[in-house]
Amino acid sequence: MRWRRVFLVLALVLFSAKAHAGGAFETYGDVAAIAIPAIAGAVAIYRNDGEGLARLTTAYAVSVAVTDGLKRVVRRLRPDGSNDLSFPSGHATRAFAGASYLHCRYGFTRAIPAYIAAVAVAASRVDADKHHWSDVIAAALLAHAIACAVTEPLAA
């Protein structure tokens, strides 16, 4: 139960940082894309779950590597026209890698706050005109599939 309080405190700090940055939704997405997997790692450490931390690290690394590879193969133009690395979203991949790890390792209900935060990251990328909805949805599915493939549920 204490890990929920740790998650809540870290989430409040995250939202506070967003407010100090001028309230920009895009800044939230930048920060939360890193904070969600970091919080997932903190949960594993708090629970003395070294195996889980190793699984999170693997899920994150593989998800990011696959995403970066796909970006270079697909070469989809971003909605704002800034470059052709739109598909899939790296921010959404990172956020959903953390949220999906929590789901696959500790159960869906414990991952709900992380999923909500990850959906907000995805929405921030679309709102910032950096991604199409299909970019962030594909990233979420990719990260979830990889996280669940490499993560065994923790025995209750």
pLDDT tens digit sequence for 7-19 = 555 565 555 554 4
| Residue-wise pLDDT tens digits, 97-118 | 999 999 999 999 999 999 999 9
pLDDT of 155 above 90: no
Predicted model pTM: 0.85
Q: What is the pLDDT of residue 70?
A: 98
Q: What is the pLDDT of residue 24?
A: 77
Higher pLDDT, 119 or 25: 119
| Residue-wise pLDDT tens digits, 58-92 | 999 999 999 999 999 999 999 999 999 999 999 99
If you average pLDDT over residues 113-131, what whole number do you get? 96
Q: How far is 76 from 57, CA to CA, in rounded Å? A: 28
Least confident segment among 20-29, 57-66, 146-155 = 20-29
